Structure 1
């Protein structure tokens, strides 16, 4: 009887005793999930390849088909920050091309975040899908394979090059050569369907041209040259025409403004003569973002339809029309946005990811390219994206993630509703059962704008307890955090850290402030944002006050953290509202818009003209340093190509002169979006200690 009582007592107490154990996990454990990216499928077979990042060690994985198994092809073993990209199947899918190394910075330097004394290079490699050592092809990027021959085009700072590969995967001696010489920055090369000509873009600053090079004749034909900026060219399926996007040329003193918009036209040219006509024009300044954010903003399908992205109806949608501009159809209607997309092998179906019906997640849909009602292929509490149709047409390779697992490669068979996992499973140490399911929160800013956020509550919370709270702000600002792990490695790491903070007793709220994506063009292009008035900052203050009103939060202990634009907003909070925000962790933030407009680039990418300098300064944290009293941890890599390192130098030195408690974590040779696992781990480790010191 006593033994039975003990057993019953153990059954009752076990869930209570195990709750803290389940809720507590290490930072290393929550960052251990392999992050999959660069998914591609075979050109002639159902082969698949992708890259997995395991604690900073990046390698290529391969599967002959959705049945698996997946095998690791490369054998890199260091957290050296060398990216792997541009995976391309080659020679009947028996070989795989890839690029290792980052793009150069303004000084021509390849990112070398582990400070390798030998330096770093950006190199095109070739590896057999049967395994073996990788073969060096050339220094360069953007490899483009010939439709029928073992010939590769690739780009380098010197232009477009060609190289031939023999049947054993070895570059033929003396076959590497510059394809042609032409003024401007030439790239974006694409073989014609018959492989006899090469289409390319020649950027020349205020204008750009599209050319077709004929190797046999040794001549370049220009497609309807004008004063405009022509870009994103695509061949027609028969190779007789070229479609492209045309923007107006840049006028004197005109500055790039990432948050603005401009009108654009879709042109169709005769490939033989270069004569072109406008087949569609945006009704207003609806272009720019829709032509730069998607991977394939313009496509010409085998079904002879032109597909393009546009925001002219207020949301990022994909449209379809005949090559003459007739029969325009919105393929992705609704108050929601399309993101990734791909075309079926026969050219008749569009697959796309969208937040339709589930605005803070992503799901997959299909629709006929000629129009129809989109069909939902996935649903639920996860996010699914990056559709990659297999050559046989029997289904989609894709990527997906949940609230308790990171970005994974899977297969969705035609007609199926269940995704089969293809890439590596989580290590045993990954705390999937201990992660909390974020709660969707919607609150209003003072001007009435609705703001979406994700709330992470400590799993061990008991009624009546009050916890310190932290607000996270994404960068961009053209980003959107989700109710799941994120598809970007930067924000996947941020999501993992938010989960870790929740496990350590913090209430964490990730805020999708105005200026971000996912909620329509007007939300993204909010008035008076950034250097024109910092209108988005009111969303952060409103978020802080929302947290203060929650019973689970200690209203006197709220902190901030974020990177890039989120770093800017962190600094804004500490400078402007010290009564609300008590500590912050600021990763590579912009602290002075006026300084950025002069020293980073003319206008700072935000179109900051001379007459806006005063407003830009007033919209910056540095204009309110007299009120800044809260401690701050500043984190920055000094090879940052997006935000000048001196933004942190200037703020740190100025705050120290004022007697503010400033701590620093500096990564020599690291870039903006940290490339090394070690950089992220050390950042989060330091941030946790910092918040514990000042908020607990």
Structure 2
């Protein structure tokens, strides 16, 4: 009897081991926007390994495709396919671009986005005549909720870790030259309550033009409950970190690397960002970098002539 039980246990262990061995492992890739044809205004979404190898064009369409969010192994991207030039709708695909699906919902503005409830709900910035709200939609594109901020300008919303608030880039002036426009980060409840300003651009700093990011698109990192953003200050562009209550402001990146759009890895260990590696503004060539958060060590993962921006982490299944 004991021998029979032993044989059954061994068989079960071997069966479980085989199933685990058959299961693919998860590995991070970087998805980013690539300007493939400047004259033809063609942008694609590429993914690559964390060392910059195995670059794959996962959209490969005419027109504009931009990603501003990934969740698990799905890349969310906006596209003007099948519509007018730069008239965007929301789509998703996997990390290698093997399957594409239109999520639907309203036409969208060019804006970063975020997810909550296990990726089942997405907050977007819609382009809807007569309405001035962020929309929370489900993965079928159906409206779940609207969030009115009350500000003349609002963009780039990101959910808090508990999904009850958002941080976003806003302004008390419309996005227009010579009227005092300046963007800052704001936090508001998803019911539109308790609007409060989070960032305050250094008084007397005139190095940012009106169209420059005083406070760039934010990322609310859930593992540490901190908010990060980039800002052009003192003649450079740096990544900053701040607590949701406005305390703990600090600069994360050195003066030697101008920082653009960024995002965090899901485990909170890495930040990826783009940087203009050209010698001047007329010689722009954006490449992708990864920074280890704890050590601050920065690695450049692309060194090519492609114009690569807005990197996000996405999971890929590997054997």
Same-fold call, TM cutoff 0.5: yes
Q: Distance in 1 between the 2:55 and 2:273 partners?
A: 25
Q: Distance in 1 between the 2:69 and 2:157 partners?
A: 22
Q: Does 1:222 align with 2:202?
A: no
Q: Distance in 2 between the 1:48 and 1:381 partners?
A: 15
Q: What is the CA distance between 1:279 and its match in structure 2?
A: 2.0
Q: Which residue of 2 aligns with 1:299?
A: 219
3-state DSSP of counterpart to 1:233: strand
1:186-216 CA-to-partner distances (Å, cap 9, x unmatched) read 986643244565534366899944455699x
Structure 1 unaligned blocks of 5 or more:
1-42, 111-121, 138-142, 144-151, 161-184, 393-696
Quickly say closer, same or farther: Cα 1:130–1:364, change in 2 above 3 A. closer
Alignment partner of 1:270 out of 189, 194, 203: 189
Q: What is the CA distance between 1:126 and its match in structure 2?
A: 6.4
Alignment partner of 2:297 out of 345, 361, 375: 375
325-334 or 82-91, larger mean C-alpha shift: 82-91
Q: What is the CA distance between 1:85 and its match in structure 2?
A: 2.2
Q: Does 1:344 align with 2:249?
A: no
1:384-416 CA-to-partner distances (Å, cap 9, x unmatched) read 965555648xxxxxxxxxxxxxxxxxxxxxxxx
1:624-635 correspondence to structure 2 within 5 Å: none
Q: What is the CA distance between 1:234 and its match in structure 2?
A: 0.6
Q: Distance in 2 between the 1:350 and 1:196 partners?
A: 24
Q: Which residue of 1 aligns with 2:125?
A: 201
1:462-497 CA-to-partner distances (Å, cap 9, x unmatched) read xxxxxxxxxxxxxxxxxxxxxxxxxxxxxxxxxxxx
Q: Which residue of 1 aligns with 2:62?
A: 82
Alignment partner of 2:169 out of 245, 249, 254: 245
Q: Which residue of 2 aligns with 1:609?
A: none
Higher relative contact order structure (alpha carbons within 8 Å, sequence separation ≥ 6): 2
Q: Does 1:104 align with 2:122?
A: no
Quickly say closer, same or farther: Cα 1:193–1:219, change in 2 above 3 A. closer
Alignment partner of 1:280 out of 157, 175, 199: 199
1:615-694 correspondence to structure 2 within 5 Å: none
Q: Distance in 2 between the 1:96 and 1:102 partners?
A: 17
3-state DSSP of counterpart to 1:377: strand
Q: Which residue of 2 aligns with 1:448?
A: none
Quickly say closer, same or farther: Cα 1:196–1:376, change in 2 above 3 A. closer
Q: What is the CA distance between 1:321 and its match in structure 2?
A: 0.8
1:587-621 CA-to-partner distances (Å, cap 9, x unmatched) read xxxxxxxxxxxxxxxxxxxxxxxxxxxxxxxxxxx
Q: Distance in 2 between the 1:72 and 1:200 partners?
A: 24
Structure 2 unaligned blocks of 5 or more:
1-24
* Number of aligned residues: 277
Asked whether the 8 Å contact 2:67–2:75 carries over to 1, the reply is no
Q: Distance in 2 between the 1:153 and 1:47 partners?
A: 26
1:245-288 CA-to-partner distances (Å, cap 9, x unmatched) read 221134xxxx833x997333321123356222222222357475
Asked whether the 8 Å contact 1:290–1:316 carries over to 2, the reply is no
Q: What is the CA distance between 1:339 and its match in structure 2?
A: 2.6
Q: Distance in 2 between the 1:202 and 1:330 partners?
A: 32
Q: Distance in 2 between the 1:237 and 1:53 partners?
A: 35
Quickly say closer, same or farther: Cα 1:390–1:126, change in 2 above 3 A. closer
Q: Distance in 2 between the 1:198 and 1:298 partners?
A: 16
Q: Distance in 2 between the 1:343 and 1:210 partners?
A: 23
The structure with the greater share of residues assigned to helix is 1
Q: Which residue of 2 aligns with 1:557?
A: none
3-state DSSP of counterpart to 1:104: coil
Q: Does 1:325 align with 2:305?
A: no
TM-score by length of 2: 0.58
RMSD: 5.7
Quickly say closer, same or farther: Cα 1:101–1:65, change in 2 above 3 A. same
1:176-191 correspondence to structure 2 within 5 Å: 190-191=114-115
The structure with the greater share of residues assigned to strand is 2
